[in-house]
């Protein structure tokens, strides 16, 4: 295992331990507590909290800053809540997530909804209780998180997918839904890193552009993976949905994905002069995903 | 119309205007925006935001403080979101609310859930953007709101009602569910008033006791009103539910209600030396409700 992987393993363990502390077990018969913990603590990739911590380091923060870990956990709670809601019967009606039965299929739809609402609410509480951060940082972080969830973020992305996803859409409409569903929470994670690091507005704008490209790349990779059987999610869940893969074909989407990654790389390089952790993380992650298709993240074709 | 009613009318109009500003209409075809606005702007009693503003005044704040109005709107958004979620088919499956069809029966269950999540998230954003308040006040207010919503507040109250409400419960179990469903958000509203007013911990503790009693009184009044036809909600929605009315009978519940009001009155009087607005509001509200039953809020039976 190289240094980078070693470091990610250490950070993932720290995240897991802190999430475990921040989500107390409650009484055993309380299904809302159980669902909140299972939805958050079950093995996830932790992409958003890792981005937050790595970007903060690249921007000059001490990575051991305890407040950073708390903000990262808050972002992961929001992500976990959004997955629980996306999976319920009146949304995507999914049975599998992260290789396990979805929360509602284990505990019921009402418990899944209540657990998601409690997680979201807890996330805002975790931000304002984050250790060793000044109140003005925390209020900015809450504002970023609020924007990423609401009617200009995850909620709106899910609504667009539900209301338009089953009929033909323009690629612009698909890109907008992808941005709302994925780029906005990436952006909130990166903005929180910049807030803690005290970065300039120019740097924050560059991170915003990075989040845009990275979110699109993630969503395209997710769409490309939909037909694969080892994703831990229901296979062919996108069947009949209007995605860029359905519109343009897999090869054109691979090309677009590489363009987004190249652009993302330029933005993160200009935002972070001091470190390379975020770039390294992004490349390693996409290389691993691309390998499933026998492709590389930087070179065309195979 | 006396001075008190005049003042309440003015405050309700100010709340309505500010809520209207804080919830922009978006595009007409966007049902999430429409549902967010309808769920919040349709005629409600505005008890929680009025409590916040009146208590802040009683504690020495200038009632025109613009930040107060924003905090009050945030509390009302949380309340509106909780009503939308309580009404959906997998929760209470209600058709009427505030005299109109419930949000999910107009726009679908998924839109109702997304609108509730967006409203909750917006509420936290509104708190941190509240005008003329220092960041440390805002972080405390977010913490109060987060506790009131999550697994120690509204969510847990709704879960207890769903999981235990249809079988016989002890009066202690019913009181706990009532506290979580109603007292906690009353308490958060009052604590926000105290935060803005810079009140002592002792005052905050007294307000907490006031919220406990007031929440129980509200819930008991709600249970007593369930059989009435002019509540704007589905009549007999509690039929088969384990409420104190079902357990002890209406007369004993009227007696308990008066005891809670007497205790609430003592707590608010000891918390607020400077003003009587909150007490006045509480008495007027319950007198009006009690009149439906030919009773008074302070005198036993008639």
For residue B32, the chain A residues in CB contact (below 8 A) are: 151, 155-156, 159
User: How close is the nearest chain B Cα to the Cα of A17, in Å?
Assistant: 20
Size of interface A-B (CB pairs under 8 A): 143
Q: Which residue has the higher pLDDT, A300 or B247?
A: B247
Is the distance from CB of A179 to CB of A212 less than 8 angstroms? yes
pLDDT score at B301: 39
- Tokens coding B179: 């506290």
- The residue ranges of every structural domain in chain A are 3-291
Is the distance from CB of B107 to CB of B84 less than 8 angstroms? no
Write the CA distances from A275 to A57, A61, A149, A222, A286, integer angstroms.
Answer: 7, 11, 29, 28, 19
Q: What is the ipTM of this complex?
A: 0.94
Per-residue pLDDT for B114 more than 80?
yes
Per this entry, what is the length of chain B? 302
Q: Which residues of chain A have pLDDT under 70?
A: 1, 27-28, 227, 229-231, 235-240, 296-302
Cβ-in-10-Å burial (0-12, 13-18, 19+) of B270 comes to middle
Q: What are residue A101's phi and psi, to 5 degrees?
A: -60, 140
For residue A156, the chain B residues in CB contact (below 8 A) are: 32, 118
- What single-letter DSSP state applies at residue A299? S
Which range is least confidently modeled, B41-55, B158-172, B259-273?
B158-172
Q: Which residue has the higher pLDDT, B195 or B272?
A: B195
Mean pLDDT across B88-101:
88
- Tokens coding B250: 């209406």
Q: What is the pLDDT of residues A30-64, one digit of tens each?
A: 899 999 999 999 978 999 999 999 999 999 998 77
pLDDT score at A185: 97
Q: What is the pLDDT of residues A193-227, one digit of tens each?
A: 999 999 999 999 999 999 999 999 999 998 888 76
Mean residue pLDDT of chain B comes to 90
pLDDT score at A236: 65
pLDDT score at A1: 52
pLDDT score at A299: 54
Listed residue (B50, B111, B35) closest to B80, CA to CA: B35
Q: Do A139 and B135 touch (CB under 8 A)?
A: yes
B300 confidence band (pLDDT: 50, 70, 90): very low
pLDDT score at B227: 66
pLDDT score at A98: 79
Write the CA distances from B184 to B210, B212, B247, integer angstroms.
Answer: 11, 8, 23
Q: What whole-number distance in Å separates Cα of residue B175 and Cα of residue B220? A: 10
pLDDT score at B151: 83
* Closest chain A CA to residue B157: A114
What is the fold of A3-291?
A: Farnesyl Diphosphate Synthase (1.10.600)
pLDDT score at A112: 96
User: How close is the nearest chain A Cα to the Cα of B146, in Å?
Assistant: 5
Q: What whole-number distance in Å separates Cα of residue A263 and Cα of residue B122? A: 32
Is the distance from CB of B245 to CB of B108 less than 8 angstroms? no
Mean pLDDT across B147-164:
91
For residue A150, the chain B residues in CB contact (below 8 A) are: 117-118, 121-122, 125
B239 confidence band (pLDDT: 50, 70, 90): low
Listed residue (A217, A273, A272, A269) closest to A244, CA to CA: A217
Is the distance from CB of B92 to CB of B112 less than 8 angstroms? no
Which of A155, A158, A176, A184 would best serve as a mutation to test chain B binding (most B beta carbons within 10 A)?
Answer: A155
Mean pLDDT across B81-90:
94
* Residues near B5 by beta carbon (within 8 Å), at least 6 away in sequence: B284
**What does the DSSP assignment read for A172-199?**
HHHHHHHIIIIIHHHHHHHHHHHHHHT-
Residues of B87-113 as b/e, b for ≥16 C-beta within 10 angstroms? Answer: bbebbbebebbbeeebbbbebbbbbbb
Listed residue (A178, A152, A148, A149) closest to A247, CA to CA: A178
- What single-letter DSSP state applies at residue A152? T
Per-residue pLDDT for B28 more than 80?
no
Per-residue pLDDT for B302 more than 80?
no
Q: What whole-number distance in Å separates Cα of residue B293 and Cα of residue B289? A: 8
Q: Which residue has the higher pLDDT, B277 or A301?
A: B277
Alpha carbon B281 to its chain's center: 14
Mean pLDDT across B60-76:
91
């Amino acid at each position: 295992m190289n240094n980078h992987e070693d470091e990610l393993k250490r950070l993932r363990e720290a995240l897991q331990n802190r999430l475990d502390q921040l989500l107390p077990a409650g009484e055993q018969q309380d299904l809302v507590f159980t669902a909140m913990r299972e939805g958050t603590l079950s093995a996830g990739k932790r992409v958003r909290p890792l981005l937050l911590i790595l970007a903060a380091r690249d921007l000059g923060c001490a990575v051991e800053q305890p407040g950073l870990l708390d903000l990262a956990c808050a972002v992961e709670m929001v992500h976990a809540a959004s997955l629980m809601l996306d999976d319920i019967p009146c949304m995507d009606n999914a049975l599998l997530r992260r290789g396990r039965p979805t929360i509602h299929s284990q505990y019921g739809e009402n418990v899944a909804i209540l657990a998601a609402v409690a997680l979201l609410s807890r996330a805002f509480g975790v931000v304002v209780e984050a250790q060793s951060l000044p109140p003005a940082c925390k209020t900015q972080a809450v504002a970023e998180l609020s924007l990423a969830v609401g009617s200009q973020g995850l909620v709106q992305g899910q609504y667009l997918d539900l209301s338009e996803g089953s009929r033909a859409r323009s690629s612009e409409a698909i890109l907008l839904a992808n941005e709302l569903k994925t780029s906005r929470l990436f952006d909130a994670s990166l903005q929180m890193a910049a807030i803690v690091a005290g970065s300039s507005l120019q740097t924050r704008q560059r991170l915003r552009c990075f989040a845009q490209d990275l979110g699109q790349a993630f969503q395209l990779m997710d769409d490309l993976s939909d037909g694969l059987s080892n994703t831990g999610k229901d296979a062919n869940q996108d069947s009949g949905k209007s995605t860029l893969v359905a519109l343009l074909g897999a090869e054109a989407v691979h090309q677009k994905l590489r363009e987004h990654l190249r652009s993302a790389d330029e933005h993160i390089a200009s935002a972070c002069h001091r470190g390379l952790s975020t770039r390294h993380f992004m490349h390693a992650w996409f290389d691993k995903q691309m390998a499933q298709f026998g492709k590389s993240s930087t070179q065309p074709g195979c």
